[in-house]
């Protein structure tokens, strides 16, 4: 079970995670975070569960997380970014989580556009960013599903071949409370230093100048990933022409 005091003792942020709502079990922490927003909330609140049974994934898919072994949480916060820059929030989340993992556990990881975290070609973490416009700001819920202490038998079906955890990669059992404190520290840092997000994302990119496959409508297209533009969109070369894409995730 996640120990709140153990987490709070390590937390060094100004506001991120200073308010933590813990549920032993819930449908979806993203949904809980939006409920929090509709009632009374503090900027930077985190909702965390040890057992999520209806996790929301990208493109309407279901997100599976194992009981008690993962970090399954959502962060509710406000930003004042222009609409065209909201795509940067996906990149910011991935950079913050990857940096938190490296600092806390020593494990290096790579990023798949826009915000999957990969180790040894397997997915370590999935991130779902949801936004709503309020008067002069945007309200953001960033949902993070990070595999931490899972063993091989904890992954079912297709996940056996496609997922991994920090414990599987490092051989060490990880203190989830300390890891979360590090992730939130970097999350707050990158929100205050947005200009560092794109260079850091580029540095961690798993597929720079590589052949990639991506969804476009119902089709799967092949191209070469060239770079990001200033808004965090992907520049992909297909048939000798470089085009800008947003909203489609990459299948390596």
Residue ranges that bind ligand BTN, judged by CB under 6 A = 28-30, 55-58, 61, 63, 65, 72-74, 126-128, 143-145
Q: Which is nearer to ligand BTN, 27 or 237 (CB)?
A: 27
Provide the β-strand partners of residue 212.
Answer: 223
Nearest-approach distance from CB 35 to ligand BTN, in angstroms: 12
Nearest to ligand BTN of 61, 193 (CB atom): 61
Q: How far is the CB of 95 from ligand BTN (least distance, A)?
A: 16
Contact 46, 73 (CB under 8 A): yes
Which H, E and C letters describe 142-193, residue by residue?
EEEEECCCCCHHHCCCCHHHHECCHHHHHCCCCCHHHHHHHHHHHHHHHHHC
CB of 40: closest distance to ligand BTN in angstroms? 21
- Count the neighbouring beta carbons within 10 Å of the beta carbon of residue 156: 10
**Least gap, CB of 4 to ligand BTN (angstroms):** 18
Among the listed residues 84, 99, 123, the one whose alpha carbon sits nearest the alpha carbon of residue 233: 84
Pick the closer one to ligand BTN by CB: 207 or 237.
207
Whichever of 70 and 182 has its CB closer to ligand BTN, that residue is: 70
Closest distance to ligand BTN from the beta carbon of 109 (Å)? 14
By beta-carbon proximity to ligand BTN, the closer residue of 6 and 51 is 51
Using the 8-state DSSP alphabet, how is residue 249 labeled?
P
CB of residue 188 vs ligand BTN: minimum separation in angstroms? Answer: 19
The residue (of 55 and 232) whose beta carbon lies closer to ligand BTN is 55
Comparing CB distances to ligand BTN, the nearer of 60 and 82 is: 60
Of 19, 174, 4, 28, the closest CA to residue 100 belongs to: 174
CA-based nearest residue to 94, from 170, 166, 188, 197 = 197
Tell me how far apart the alpha carbons of residues 77 and 143 are, in angstroms, rounded to a whole number: 12
Q: At its nearest, how many Å lie between ligand BTN and the CB of residue 62?
A: 9
The DSSP annotation for 17-65 comes to TTSEEEESSBS-HHHHHHHHHHS---TTEEEEES-BSSEE-GGG-EE--
Q: Which one, of 159, 161, 129, lies nearest residue 144 by Cα?
A: 129
């Amino acid at each position: 079970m996640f120990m709140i005091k153990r987490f709070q003792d390590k937390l060094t942020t100004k506001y991120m995670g200073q308010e933590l709502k813990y549920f032993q079990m819930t449908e979806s922490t993203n949904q809980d975070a939006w409920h929090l927003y509709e009632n009374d909330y503090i900027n930077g609140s985190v909702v965390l569960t040890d057992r999520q049974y209806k996790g929301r994934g990208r493109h309407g898919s279901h997100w599976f997380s194992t009981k008690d072994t993962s970090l399954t949480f959502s962060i509710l916060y406000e930003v004042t970014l222009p609409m065209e820059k909201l795509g940067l929030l996906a990149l910011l989340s991935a950079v913050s989580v990857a940096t938190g993992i490296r600092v806390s556990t020593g494990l290096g990881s790579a990023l798949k556009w826009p915000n999957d975290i990969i180790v040894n070609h397997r997915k370590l973490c999935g991130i779902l960013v949801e936004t709503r416009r309020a008067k002069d700001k945007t309200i953001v819920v960033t949902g993070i599903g990070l595999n931490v202490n899972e063993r091989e038998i904890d992954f079912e079906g297709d996940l056996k071949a496609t997922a991994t955890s920090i414990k599987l990669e490092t051989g060490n059992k990880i203190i989830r409370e300390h890891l979360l404190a590090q992730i939130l520290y970097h999350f707050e840092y990158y929100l205050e230093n947005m200009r560092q997000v794109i260079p850091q994302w580029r540095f961690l990119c798993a597929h720079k100048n590589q052949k990639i496959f991506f969804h476009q409508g119902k089709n799967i297209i092949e191209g070469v990933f060239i770079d990001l533009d200033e808004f965090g969109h992907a520049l992909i070369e297909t048939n000798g022409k470089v085009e800008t894409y947003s909203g489609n995730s990459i299948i390596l």
